Amino acid sequence: MNWSDEDIDKLFQESAEKSSFEFREEYWEEFEKYLPVNKKRGGVVWYLTSFLFLALTSGMLFIDYGNVNLQSSSEKISYSSDNNVDAQVDLSNIETHELEPVKLTKETYITVKQEVISELFDKINTGVTVMDPSFNIVDVSRDNSLNAIDENNVNVTLDDEGSITPEVRNSISTLKISKLNRELDEISAIPVDIIKMPLAGSFYIELNSGIQQSRITPSSSCGFSYGFGAGFQFQKNKFGFSAGIGTSVIHPGDMTLSRLAKVYGFGSDLYQYELKYNRFYVLDAQLSFNYYLGRHGVGATFRPSYIYNTKVTYSSASNDGSEPSTPINSSFEENNEVRSVYGYMDGLNRFGLYGGINYKIKLNQDLEFGINAGVQFRPQINQAFINGTNRVLPVEGQLFLRKSIHLRN
């Protein structure tokens, strides 16, 4: 059938006058039966859906919860057919669009200025790709018996010759399959439930471990750390930002402080003790900015930190300062004490600041793996207490594994 411009105009005008369909819970329940259990994602699918996810979540910027509104600017649909019929369809204020089946060739496609919709429709020979409410790709085999349903649904139909007749649902950026009726070979699409958030965001939890240069010099030993954190991350276009808090345990390696104290009283007591810092317990804020190229992201990381606890091994010796029958000497008697304690903070600057660069790769939609490398800007050792000198900008490296937790309504 050949479409004239007037026909197409009339079609959209009539559709615009009709009310939008009403979503019913039964649609979703029925559709769930047909969702595949195992979803294989090929490499191409992975990239496609990643980009789709970014695009769709970006589109959430412009969508209010529960309402389906058209953009104020008109959206045009153009398509061509074997008949070389070009039609410009104005989607403004049109709820549904019903197109009578047209014969389309492989070059036929439906495009809209809202580009995401075009991604839903592949070329005829590859069938139609749609997404379920979980944004998973659902492969819908092309079926020649698919027919249009009704005006309240977006139908994807195929005619006997393998052509595809799209009915475009206006103003939505994603489609949600509510019903798949094999018998009728119909696919109904309903507006997706819009998540009420301005940006594509999610919470995350993270595990990390790292190594670091000794805080003091000269020293050839390295410390290591491990910890976990949680926070929030969001992305706009190719830029991502994350903020969270975490805690970690640092094994400094070789941090030993020694002190000699002379305590005056009736006489004087000499105390010599050594403190070996075995562990630092740190709370830190994790701030990072990234630029994404597909799955790969690079950026900067900042971590203000606070040492809230330590474990030290404390050994001391003292002379006997009691009233002497012989003069007090400075040599230490057999009065050694060795034990481990928590909470000793002398000699430490409790606040720290780490800055560095990071690289991360998305293993899948929810999982990221990355590496940080940077330096501690703020010395964490009080110079007056250490055996040695504060190392300037000690280097730290860290590996992290981050899992995203998406919000649901």
**CB contact burial 105-139 (16+ within 10 A = b; e otherwise):** beebbbebebebbebbbbebeebbbbbbbebebbe
Decide if 345 contacts 323 (C-beta within 8 A): no
Please state the closest distance from residue 322 (CB atom) to another protein, in A. Answer: 7
Of 183, 252, 192, whose CA–CA distance to 222 is shortest? 252
Number of residues that bind another protein (CB under 8 A): 34
Based on CB atoms, which residue is closest to another protein, 321 or 397? 321
Q: What angle do CA 248, 301, 345 make, to 5 degrees?
A: 35
Based on CB atoms, which residue is closest to another protein, 97 or 402? 402
Candidate list 230, 298, 300, 353; residue touching another protein; CB under 8 A? 230
Segment 339-368, which members bind another protein (CB under 8 A)? 341-344, 346
Candidate list 22, 183, 323, 334; residue touching another protein; CB under 8 A? 323
Please state the closest distance from residue 268 (CB atom) to another protein, in A. Answer: 3
Candidate list 135, 241, 273, 359; residue touching another protein; CB under 8 A? 273
Establish how many alpha carbons lie within 13 A of residue 260's alpha carbon, considering only the half-sphere containing its beta carbon.
Answer: 7
Is residue 232 at the binding interface for another protein, with CB under 8 A as the rule? Answer: no
Is residue 369 at the binding interface for another protein, with CB under 8 A as the rule? Answer: no
Please state the closest distance from residue 266 (CB atom) to another protein, in A. Answer: 4
- Cα–Cα distance, 209 to 132 (Å, whole number): 37
Please state the closest distance from residue 327 (CB atom) to another protein, in A. Answer: 4
The pair of three-digit structure tokens given for residue 15, joined into one six-digit string: 């559709």
Candidate list 28, 269, 287, 317; residue touching another protein; CB under 8 A? 269
Of 288, 268, 279, 271, whose CA–CA distance to 358 is shortest? 288
Based on CB atoms, which residue is closest to another protein, 263 or 367? 263
Answer positive or negative: Cα dihedral of 307, 313, 319, 322. positive
- Strands (E) in 124-199, as ranges, are 128-131, 137-140, 156-158, 164-166, 175-181, 186-191
Q: Which DSSP symbol is given to 358?
A: E
Please state the closest distance from residue 263 (CB atom) to another protein, in A. Answer: 5
Using the contact rule CB under 8 A, the part of the chain among 14-22, 40-48, 60-68, 321-329 near another protein is 321-329
The pair of three-digit structure tokens given for residue 202, joined into one six-digit string: 């999610």
In the stretch 279-318, what mask flags binding to another protein with x, by CB under 8 A? --x-x------------------------xx--x-x-x--
Is residue 272 at the binding interface for another protein, with CB under 8 A as the rule? Answer: no
**Which residues bind to another protein, rule: CB under 8 A?**
230, 247, 259, 261-269, 271, 273, 275, 281, 283, 308-309, 312, 314, 316, 321-324, 327-328, 341-344, 346, 405
